[in-house]
A = this chain, B = another copy of it.
């Protein structure tokens, strides 16, 4: 059972077409250990398919987000990053010096009933947890 095939059938089932551009974008994510910016995706994909356009990349990133295939990570830098949505729940540490972002398993939050959320009537759906600090390399350099 191939992840790529799963994604392709998700697209088809929802009435979206499987274009060459989509295939290379999905393929780039398959080969991505962590996350890409839209610009990185564009570069990766252009290397495979000379004729792709930036707006096509953006439109497909948006689509893949909508279908729950990828996640948009928007961190302090202001530049969006995208990652394949895996089954594992994880968060990120982000280096304040070099900007590098790594996934971590640590999650301090469990979605038990919470008194404060109940009081303000807020219904949680998902959460984001980020730790900012210094990565090994940058903390050594200081």
Residues of A within 8 A of B (CB): 72, 74-76, 78, 80, 93, 95-96, 102, 104-106, 108-110, 114, 116-117, 120-136, 139
On whether the beta carbons of B129 and A133 are closer than 8 Å, the reply is no
Interchain CB contact (< 8 A) of A126 among B105, B133, B136? B133
User: Could you tell me if B78 and A124 are in contact, using CB atoms closer than 8 angstroms?
Assistant: no
Closest B residue to A116 by CB, please name it. B106
Which residues of B have CB within 8 Å of A130? 127-129
Contacts of A121 in B (CB 8 A): 135-136, 139
Nearest residue, chain B, Cβ from A134 = B123
User: Hey, which chain B residues are within 8 Å of A108, CB to CB?
Assistant: 108-110, 129
Query: Could you say which residues of chain B place their CB within 8 Å of the CB of A102?
Result: 120, 122
* Residue numbers in B under 8 Å from A122 (CB-CB): 93, 95, 102, 131, 133-136, 139
Give every chain B residue within 8 A of A136 (Cβ-Cβ).
120-122
Residues of B within 8 A of A74 (CB): 74-76, 78
**Are A105 and B116 interface neighbours, CB within 8 A?**
yes
CA distance in complex: A93, B119 (Å) = 13
Please state if B123 and A139 are interface contacts (CB–CB under 8 Å): yes
- A109 shortest CB reach to chain B, Å: 4
Q: Name the residue of chain B whose CB is nearest to the CB of A138.
A: B123
